[in-house]
Amino acid sequence: MPVLLLLLLLLIVVPLVELFILIEVGQVIGALATIGLCVLTAVIGGALLRHQGLQTLQRARINLDRGAVPAVEMLEGLALGVGGVMLLTPGFATDVIGFACLIPATRRLIIHALMRRVHVQYGPVQGQTSDRPAQGREAIEGEYRRGDPPEQR
């Protein structure tokens, strides 16, 4: 399925599902309670996002200090960002996805599932050039001096 079609489908289906769920919950617990619950999930999500984000940043700094690439921490940061956006979006279905991205155990499950589906290629891509000098060529060292008089520079 093309990405544009998938994005269009998500932009249509997700709001309709959220609207349906909000109407159903509103009929059961009332409109004000539904609005309050949406605000409460956003506040709890914001606090959880701040806490988890700081922990992830601290782990990334520790890895950088060791000289290691904080790849997992970068993916966790991306998942935290997605989770934060989902929690700020009004609705209960997006809140479930948002909390799944913010809770460490489910976040790691999501990241590992995505990592199994993604192929990472290392090294230069076909057609790329390298900054390294070609093998087997000599480098000729030398000095130069500008021949222009200082007043013409």
Segment 59-91, tens digit of pLDDT: 889 988 998 888 888 889 899 999 988 988 889
**pLDDT tens-digit map of 112-133:** 888 888 766 665 656 555 566 5
| Nearest alpha-carbon partner for 88 in 48, 56, 41, 136 | 41
Q: Do 86 and 94 contact (CB within 8 A), yes or no? A: yes
Residue 20: which H helix or E strand, with range? helix 3-29
Q: What is the pLDDT of residues 14-61, one digit of tens each?
A: 899 999 999 999 999 999 999 999 999 989 988 888 888 888 889 889
